[in-house]
């Protein structure tokens, strides 16, 4: 499978290291950028399958590039940086991995394999039918919970909480896979760890930092991240 890969880093040595690690995958189409503005342009025009993204770059940081991009699906995203304090905001963008410089080939290969798995999953997800039920364990038996009765899904560690008005179950599906199996007319991602049932939302409150509070009809409150502000706009327009 030929992949389109964008390597965005202002340090030439860092770009060359990634190119060296990728030398066995010579069927791929590779381009490099060295500043945030060029990266933003390449992200929109080249539309890579995989993006290796440095965080501290001239003109625009890696995070600012993601914030200013057009409203489109992100590629498999691997952050590369010398600063571990950016890990938490980085994963707001569903990064498949976070490589802390300097990284060895074995660690790089692990991240690259995760990115390939994500790309393959995205390319195949169009064949998935939207779920009508979620299979959950209740003691020694398995129950089918109607998707329409679920208020929201929230990732908690290795599991996802399936939350109805009065009950919570745990499932092991990754959030990004779960999202693709749900009808986007009914469910929408509002946080890296939360998918909410649009029909359960009573009101939306804007916060000064760009986040939102979603008040559900049951009285529960959910914080929506500014990272998903475009999805909030879609809710308002419905």
Give the residues of the chain that fall short of pLDDT 50. none
Domain range for 117: 4-126
Rounded Cα–Cα distance for residues 34 and 37 (Å)? 9
Picking from 126, 141, 173, the residue at the C-terminal end of a domain is 126
pLDDT (0 to 100) of residue 116: 93
Quick: pLDDT tens for 121-148. 777 765 567 889 999 987 788 889 999 9
pLDDT (0 to 100) of residue 126: 58
Number of domains into which the chain is organized:
2
Do 113 and 153 share a structural domain? Answer: no
**Confidence (pTM):** 0.63
Picking from 73, 107, 126, the residue at the C-terminal end of a domain is 126
CATH number for position 148: 2.40.50.1020
Picking from 126, 152, 180, the residue at the C-terminal end of a domain is 126
């Amino acid at each position: 499978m030929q992949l389109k890969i964008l390597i965005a880093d202002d340090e030439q040595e860092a770009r060359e290291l990634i190119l060296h690690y990728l030398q066995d995958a010579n069927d791929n189409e590779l381009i490099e950028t060295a500043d945030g503005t060029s990266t933003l342009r390449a992200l929109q025009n080249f539309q890579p399958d995989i993006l290796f993204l440095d965080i501290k770059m001239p003109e625009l940081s890696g995070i600012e590039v993601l914030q200013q991009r057009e409203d489109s699906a992100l590629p498999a995203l691997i952050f590369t940086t010398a600063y571990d304090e950016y890990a938490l905001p980085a994963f707001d963008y569903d990064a498949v991995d976070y490589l802390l410089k300097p990284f060895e080939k074995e660690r790089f290969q692990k991240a690259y394999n995760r990115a390939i798995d994500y790309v393959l999953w995205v390319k195949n997800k169009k064949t998935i039918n939207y779920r009508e039920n979620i299979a959950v364990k209740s003691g020694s038996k398995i129950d089918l919970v109607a998707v329409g009765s679920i208020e929201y899904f929230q990732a908690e560690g290795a599991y996802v909480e399936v939350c109805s008005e009065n009950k919570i179950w745990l499932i092991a599906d990754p959030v990004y896979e779960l999202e693709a199996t749900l009808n986007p007319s009914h469910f929408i991602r509002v946080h890296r760890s939360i998918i909410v049932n649009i029909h359960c939302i009573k009101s939306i409150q804007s916060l000064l930092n760009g986040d939102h509070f979603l008040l559900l009809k049951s009285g529960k409150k959910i914080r929506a991240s500014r990272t998903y502000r475009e999805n909030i706009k879609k809710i308002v327009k419905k």
